[in-house]
Amino acid sequence: MTSPTLDTQTIRIIAGEDAHLARNYSPLPVVIARGEGVWVTDVEGKRYLDLLSAYSALNFGHLHPAIVAAATEQLGRLTLTSRAFHNDRLGAFASALADLCKKDLVLPMNTGAEAVETGIKVARAWAYRVKGVKTDAANIVVAHGNFHGRTTTIVGFSDDESARDGFGPFAPGFRSVPFGDAAAIDAAIDENTAAVLIEPIQGEAGVILPPKGYLQAVRDICTDRGVLFIADEIQSGLGRVGETFACDRDGVVPDVYLLGKALGGGIMPLSAVVANSDILGVIKPGEHGSTFGGNPLAAAVGERVVEMLATGEFQDRSRALGEHLSERLEALVGDGVTAVRVAGLWAGIDIDPARGTGREIAERLVHRGVLVKDTHGQTIRIAPPLVIRGTEIDWAIEQLKLVLEAE
Ligand SMILES: *Cc1c(COP(=O)(O)O)cnc(C)c1O
């Protein structure tokens, strides 16, 4: 499972990306041609264990047969209508997702960033029309280290320089406070605050878990101060952390869920904002939309995904295997690993700088047939498909041990 190291340019040529593809990513040196379950195969036929799952968009693995069947059946009937007309799939998807979230309205979009943008618009409209905030005065409290997507409004309230630098001017109306500090949220709220928008666990930041009691405190503060609690569960939700939502780990119910990634079953982009009608009902016809949002193909896929989550089977797997993963990773602390943070089948692993950077470890793992992603220098992130087996986790950890020992 080892191959000679190819330089970035050679890999770009093999992938056919050297001529015309913009360089907004620096992919790891592997060119994937096929996928099935937790495994992918490169153009030369070598197999790799996919421990990234497209940042949790592949929670059910590559080409899950039940999701492929739903998509294939729908591909033969109807793919796109636009919302200018009704289609016969969207209502059933919305009902199923509302049930899963125990809310009563669903607004479908495509990408995660669009769900976040929609959540911001809903919160502002709610502030003006329900709470009575003066026109254009609304603010939203966010957390340091956040990742909510790549649009200009969203990167404007990021504190990651590489996401922001060169892309201003940015939209006003956001206040950022330290993640995990509920008192700081309370202090940032004023009479014009529409919402608190946070990831219950910060994924891109390196799988950062807030201190115990934080989410409950945020819930209580939002209730007391008359502010919406918007949980960006785009990466943390839909089974990743051993529950349907990361908020469930603390028994907390936000006012608004932002969902994406795994909702599209690893097949297509599908996102949604889910809330009760006293909030989401503020949006009237003509005020917001998307050409592809709620298309029948996405709805068929999304309904199947929700059906699969409704059994609880994937959440149970994630919880049980997450404990297994956690034990294996904890055993590495002090031996090439300085810290691990695990929630279900989701882990941030801080690499001892003496053993290499996160990127170097990720590159060495590629050569051992394991795909992970580095973040913020010294951290690698893993988020295997929830269909992974315990033995596959053990094998991956063995490979990690080996690359930590290598120079
Ligand atoms: C990935 C992600 C987004 C953005 O989703 P896209 O589909 O890439 O636009 C937003 N929020 C969180 C927490 C994410 O992980």
Helical spans, DSSP H, in 202-312: 214-225, 277-280, 296-310
Tell me, yes or no, if 261 is annotated catalytic.
yes
Confidence bin at 6 (pLDDT 50/70/90)? confident
Tens of pLDDT, residues 121-130: 999 999 999 9
pLDDT of residue 39: 98
Which DSSP string do the residues of 86-112 spell out, in sequence order? --TTHHHHHHHHHHHHT-SEEEEESSH
Q: Which tokens is 158 given?
A: 């990021």
pLDDT recorded at residue 2: 43
The verdict on residue 2 lying in a domain is no
Return all residues near 339 (Cβ < 8 A) that are at least 6 apart: 333, 349, 350
Residue nearest to atom 5 of ligand 1 (CA): 112
Based on the residue annotation, tell me whether 46 is a catalytic residue of this protein: no
What angle (nearest 5°) sits at the alpha carbon of residue 307, between those of residues 320 and 246? Answer: 45
The verdict on 209 and 221 lying in the same domain is yes
Residue 234 CA, ligand 1 centroid: distance in Å: 6
What CATH code is carried by the domain that includes residue 104? 3.40.640.10
Of 53, 55, 120, 234, best ligand 1 pocket probe by most atoms within 8 Å of the beta carbon:
234
pLDDT band at 260 (very low <50, low <70, confident <90, very high): very high
Q: Is residue 338 part of a domain?
A: no
Domain boundary (254, 281, 310) is at 310
Whether 137 and 158 share a structural domain: yes
Cβ–Cβ under 8 Å, residues 94 and 273: no
Per-residue pLDDT tens digits for 212-236: 999 999 999 999 999 999 999 999 9
55 plus 71 within the same structural domain: no
Cα–Cα distance, 343 to 171 (Å, whole number) = 33
Confidence of residue 250 (pLDDT cuts 50, 70, 90): very high
For 370, the domain range is 8-63+347-405
Q: What is the pLDDT of residue 380?
A: 97
Domain identity same for 95 and 197: yes
Number of domains making up the chain: 2
Residues 259 and 375 in one domain: no
254, 286, 310: which is the final residue of a domain?
Answer: 310
Atom of ligand 1 nearest to the CA of 114: 9
**Residues 84, 36 share a domain:** no
- Please state the rounded mean pLDDT for residues 390-403: 98
Count the neighbouring beta carbons within 10 Å of the beta carbon of residue 344. Answer: 26
Pairing of strands 347-351, 39-42: unpaired
Q: Is residue 407 scored above 80 in pLDDT?
A: no
- Please tell me whether residues 57 and 102 are part of one structural domain: no
For residue 210, the 8-state DSSP code is P
Give the confidence band of 1 by pLDDT, cuts at 50, 70, 90.
very low
More confident residue, 1 or 281: 281
- Cross-strand partners of 62: 37
Of 207, 235, 206, 205, nearest in space to 55 by CA: 235
Please check the confidence at residue 19 and state whether its pLDDT lies above 70.
Answer: yes
* Nearest-10 Cα torsion for 313, 315, 320, 324: 130
Can you give the pTM of this predicted structure? 0.97
Residue 232 CA, closest ligand 1 atom number: 13
* Mean pLDDT, rounded, for 288-311: 98
Residue 111 in any domain: the answer is yes
Which CATH number goes with the domain that contains 366? 3.90.1150.10
As a residue count, the chain comes to: 407
261: left (phi over 0), alpha (psi -120 to 50) or beta: left
- Spatial separation of the C-alpha atoms in residues 339 and 348, rounded to whole Å: 8
Write down which residue in 254, 285, 310 finishes a domain: 310
Beta bridge partners of 50: 371
In a domain, 332, yes or no: no
Q: Are residues 37 and 70 in the same domain?
A: no
Please report the atom of ligand 1 found closest to the CA of residue 269. 7
376: alpha, beta or left, given left = phi > 0 and alpha = psi -120 to 50? left
Catalytic residue among 50, 232, 350, 374: 232
Locus of tokens 């907004």? 24
Pairing verdict, β 139-143 and 174-177: parallel
Statement to judge: residues 37 and 92 lie in one domain: no
Q: Which residue in the list 42, 60, 93, 147 is annotated as catalytic?
A: 147
Q: Is 190 among the domain residues? A: yes
Strand ranges for 168-263 from DSSP E: 174-177, 193-198, 228-232, 256-259
pLDDT digits (tens, 9 = 90+) for 63-86: 999 999 999 999 999 999 999 999
25 and 72 co-located in one domain: no
Counting residues of the chain whose pLDDT is more than 90, the rounded percentage is 95
Q: Mean pLDDT lowest for which of 17-31, 247-261, 315-329, 350-364? A: 17-31
Q: 74 and 107, same structural domain?
A: yes
**For all residues of the chain together, what is the average pLDDT?**
96
Residue 147 is a catalytic residue: yes
Residue 4 has pLDDT above 80, yes or no: no
pLDDT value of residue 5: 64
The residues lining ligand 1, judged by C-beta closer than 6 Å to any ligand atom, are 55, 111-113, 116, 147-149, 199, 203-204, 232, 234-235, 260-261
Is residue 181 situated within a structural domain?
yes
> Are 268 and 299 part of one and the same domain?
yes
Residue 322 has pLDDT above 50, yes or no: yes
pLDDT digits (tens, 9 = 90+) for 138-169: 999 999 999 999 999 999 999 999 999 999 99
